[in-house]
Structure 1
Amino acid sequence: MTTFVSPPIALLLGLIVANLSGHPFLHLNHKATNILLQVSVVGLGFGMNVNSALSAGKEGFLFTVASILSTLILGTFLGKWLKIEKKTAHLISCGTAICGGSAIAAIAPVIKSEDKQTSIALGVIFILNSIALFLFPAVGHWLDLSQKEFGLWCAIAIHDTSSVVGAASKFGPEALQIATTVKLARVLWIIPVALITAVVFKNKSSRIKIPYFIGLFILAMVMNNYVSKTAIIAPYLVSIAKIGLTLTLFLIGAGLNRSILKSVGVKPLFQGILLWIFIAIATLLTILYFN
């Protein structure tokens, strides 16, 4: 399947289906993509090297901290400047800063956002994710980035894990390993950001969703490196995981119909674009300067 349909093409096909025939199970789409993405990421762990992953994680740590803090601060100011609802602006900022839809899903109950506010934030993030999947590999090749540079860049500057993995897999195997490791380390920042959010929005009763699947990803990576018998099935698991990722992106595209795109609004989309441009350019310049 992945031989004939790349992740960007799968997303495009999903968009075509959504806007021509519609998605008959749209109400189940978000849950299905979330589960399928997590399973696919765990499967990719069977193709990762522990030492390389640790090295990438250490290198991406400072980028992660600086980019998350600066994006959240800038997002707050942009939200006030554009007069966007505080909760909507915060969800867009968190989605841009950490890991797209997953961050929004985790933060939304903490701030007790309304369905419309959550939907607008998700719409903004998914639109920009769709663009990133096509744009980033093209820019990476145009700038002649190394696989290491591209892996770091897309892990920090692309919102959703699905689009990060999709863009990196198109660029190369080393980029995929670096991007996946750095992005999953970034996902863990949902927890401290959610705790801070609960204090800022004065909500102490909300439960915070912890991304437990990252532990399974680490376990898969450890098994791939230290359990010899895993080598027999690891290539098959990685192949299945890549197919799962392609299907995930198709379903994400299939969930972006006209009504969702229209409901986003100009100001929230403008906030998302400005934040995205900031994090993409700042991260790229930092990576090129220090490398």
Structure 2
Amino acid sequence: MSPIGAAKTKETSISLESRKMRKSLRLKKGWMKGVILTLVLALLAGIVADFPIFSVMGVMIISILLGMSWKGLMDVPADAAPGITFSSKILLRAGIILMGLRLNFEQILSAGFSIVIIDVAVIVFTLVFMLYLGKLLSIDRHLSTLIAVGTAVCGAAAIVVVAPLIGAKKELTAISVAFIAIMGTIVTIFYTFLYPVLGFTPYEYGILTGSTLHELAHVIAAATPGGDISSDTAILVKLGRVALLIPVAIVLGSIFSKKSGNVPAQKRTFKDLPVPWFIFGFLFMCLINTVGFLPDALTKMLIALSILLLSMAMAGLGLSVNFSEFKKLSSKVLITGVAGSFALILLGLLLTKL
């Protein structure tokens, strides 16, 4: 190669490297922008929650409302999306893991059997009710199954896991995830105002929220007004539902495989299914708290950190809510989803009093 050609090649290589660096820098700035936005909203929510008129709502709900307000009034920069997603997903799980420091294994074991019964009853009832209603209304069985499993088990995570096992199209998965996110947020806010008039003990309210709300984020936010007992109980109940995701996914995958007469192209085995590893992190923190490994001061600091991380996750959830997604749903699908959610609430009220 001639010296001139070599020089041009070198210039091209430097130019490409420079463009890559600028792109990487823009991505990092966008990511930081999203994380910082959720942090600011979470800190602001903590200030607002100190006012008596807002204290009943709790910092989690206020974080969601501030996120929704920001999105509605000021919109969200497109490049901030990765940081917002990081807060609403990764920081959510980190906060849940650290919340394990508020519990010990004696509390978990004492509540264990009753929680399993509640979780199984909730999942079986919701799936049967919503799938039957979807069939009556002649809704696509893949769509009704995705919305049903999102309502019954653990929201978007359940939908994403089950979708390839039943051969659901990507657009149906997206619509189902959007519906569950919006419906769960509405019910979460509704619960916050319902709590003072229910007359439930913190434990009973924790059972209700943990057994009937869609996402982990929804459960944590709605249970906060009931205090630590309510929050701890709600998380245990909800994590039980999350743990049942794998057997539910396998059963649904098997049913759809038999009905279609063949095996879906993307069928997975038990070992291929995503395991909710943050549950083990939560239990590990419970173990640390049980043996008293950490000093009390450090434990309190980590619990305070968990509240901040969860508040950031709630702000991210609020920033991600897009009510326009409802326009993509037919009236029959809305009826199925809403009816299933409220039937689940009624079941939760019944189970709480049994």
One fold, TM greater than 0.5?
Answer: yes
Give the alignment partner of residue 198 of structure 1, picking from 228, 253, 271. 253
Q: Does residue 1:239 correspond to 2:239, yes or no?
A: no
Aligned partners of 2:182 and 2:323 also within 8 Å: no
1:175 is displaced (CA, Å) by: 0.5
| One-letter amino acid of the counterpart of residue 273, structure 2 | I
* Alignment of structure 1 residues 170-249 onto 2, 5 Å: 170-202=225-257, 203=264, 205-206=267-268, 207-249=272-314
1:267 is displaced (CA, Å) by: 2.5
Deviations 1:8-36 (A, max 9, x none): 12111211222333332476355652212
* Aligned equivalents of 1:241, 1:257: Cα separation in 2: 26
| One-letter amino acid of the counterpart of residue 11, structure 1 | I
What SS does structure 2 have at the residue aligned with 1:95? helix
Pair 1:12–1:196, CA change in 2 (3 A): same
Deviations 1:32-58 (A, max 9, x none): 522121111001111223212222332
Q: Does residue 1:96 correspond to 2:164, yes or no?
A: no
Q: Give structure 1 regions of 4+ aligned residues with deviation exceeding 3 angstroms.
A: 25-32
TM-score, normalisation: structure 2: 0.77
Give the alignment partner of residue 21 of structure 1, picking from 67, 74, 88. 74
Q: Identify the residue that residue 254 of structure 1 maps to in structure 2.
A: 319
| One-letter amino acid of the counterpart of residue 159, structure 1 | H
What SS does structure 1 have at the residue aligned with 2:285? helix
Deviations 1:137-156 (A, max 9, x none): 32232021001111111101
| One-letter amino acid of the counterpart of residue 202, structure 2 | Q
* Alignment of structure 1 residues 31-50 onto 2, 5 Å: 32-50=87-105
TM-score, normalisation: structure 1: 0.92
1:62 is displaced (CA, Å) by: 0.9
Deviations 1:225-265 (A, max 9, x none): 20333534211111111111111111111112344343344
Pair 1:143–1:233, CA change in 2 (3 A): same
Give the alignment partner of residue 277 of structure 1, picking from 342, 347, 351. 342
What SS does structure 2 have at the residue aligned with 1:100? helix
1:82 is displaced (CA, Å) by: 2.1
Aligned partners of 1:60 and 1:182 also within 8 Å: yes
Q: Identify the residue that residue 3 of structure 1 maps to in structure 2.
A: 46
Aligned partners of 2:182 and 2:322 also within 8 Å: no
1:194 is displaced (CA, Å) by: 0.7
Pair 1:91–1:7, CA change in 2 (3 A): same
Structure scoring higher RCO (CA < 8 A, sep ≥ 6) equals 1
What SS does structure 2 have at the residue aligned with 1:145? coil
Structure 2 residue runs without a partner (length 5+): 1-42, 49-58, 258-263
Mark the structure with the bigger radius of gyration: 2
Aligned partners of 2:88 and 2:315 also within 8 Å: no
* Aligned equivalents of 1:137, 1:183: Cα separation in 2: 17
1:183 is displaced (CA, Å) by: 0.8
What SS does structure 2 have at the residue aligned with 1:201? helix
Aligned partners of 1:57 and 1:185 also within 8 Å: no
Moved more, 13-22 or 220-229: 13-22
Q: Identify the residue that residue 114 of structure 2 maps to in structure 1.
A: 59
| One-letter amino acid of the counterpart of residue 320, structure 2 | G
Pair 1:32–1:10, CA change in 2 (3 A): closer
| One-letter amino acid of the counterpart of residue 12, structure 1 | L
1:3 is displaced (CA, Å) by: 2.8
- The percentage of counterpart residues that share the same residue type is 27
1:113 is displaced (CA, Å) by: 2.2
1:112 is displaced (CA, Å) by: 3.3
| One-letter amino acid of the counterpart of residue 80, structure 1 | K
| One-letter amino acid of the counterpart of residue 58, structure 1 | F
| One-letter amino acid of the counterpart of residue 348, structure 2 | T
